[in-house]
Amino acid sequence: MEKTGGLLLPGMEARWVETLGWRPSDRQREMFQSLYERILSGNRRLNLTRITEPEEFWEKHLWDSLRGVVPWLSRGYSHLKIIDIGTGAGFPGLPIAIAIPESEVTLLDSTGKKVAFLQTIVAELGIERAFPVVGRAEAIAQMSEHRETYDLVTLRAVAAASVCAEYSLPLLKMGGTAVLYRGQWTEVEQKEIQRAIGQLGGVLESVEGFETPLSGGVRHCVYLRKVEPTPDRFPRPAGVPAQKPLG
Ligand code: SAH
């Protein structure tokens, strides 16, 4: 048995219900545990995450991933088409695929090694509707099979907020939502993102500030909604959005 196989995630039944109004099934808890064990063993080769203690993994990877999609968890949505841009080791995309099992989740990252790892995790956990894809958001968002086809786009720790807006809004269907997972959120970022989304067909729907339930870390989730088609020239070619942010 793997040395890491013995570490157990906390159940946190009451915390899930109190904080998210949602309770994982036994099967979902087993899948979270398997995900944890596989990330720990993959970490030795790939340096995926610094977060390895059970409680910290629960809070900063599982809880944090699902906190951003509470509106879609508790209303029992299904058949959502979701893309997680810059998913890395699969966050927030994999916990979302486990928690909303009838959704279809594309896990996009520009690093081939991480995506290959995600392919093995998805197969081993039997997550049928998660699709790891290697590529850059700027390129994927110009392909007709991806552009304006998603209900929900998530981004955590990928780029500056207005850059995330340029990556995500072209991928959304009309009426779809982008969720930006942020730590602190400043007035300057708010002004920059307002200027960016005005050019991309989006509006700022809401900004939710909250603390993580165990360590009290500051988080903000920024929700953007697509209200008009994004002009074809966005996103600009690979690298340009980050070099010359729209905001
Ligand atoms: N979302 C994960 C990983 C964050 S690290 C988490 O929160 O744990 C940022 C990841 O975004 C890296 O794996 C990097 O390869 C990827 N990335 C950065 N820019 C990207 C782009 N333009 N398109 C696709 N992936 C990108």
140-162 pLDDT, tens per residue?
A: 999 999 999 999 999 999 999 99
What is the pTM (predicted TM-score) of this model?
0.96
Distance from C-alpha of 8 to C-alpha of 53, rounded to nearest angstrom: 9
CA 207 to centroid of ligand 1, rounded, Å: 22
Whether residue 86 has its Cβ less than 6 Å from ligand 1: yes
The residue whose CA has the least distance to atom 26 of ligand 1 is 86
The three-class DSSP label of residue 77 is coil
The token pair that represents 115 in the structure block: 């995506």
The residue whose CA has the least distance to atom 13 of ligand 1 is 88
- CATH architecture observed for domain 13-243: 3-Layer(aba) Sandwich (3.40)
CA 91 to centroid of ligand 1, rounded, Å: 10
Whether residue 117 has its Cβ less than 6 Å from ligand 1: no
108 class by beta-carbon count within 10 Å (0-12 exposed, 13-18 middle, 19+ buried): buried
Residue pLDDT, tens place only, 93-141: 999 999 998 899 999 999 999 999 999 999 999 998 999 999 999 999 9
CA 26 to centroid of ligand 1, rounded, Å: 30
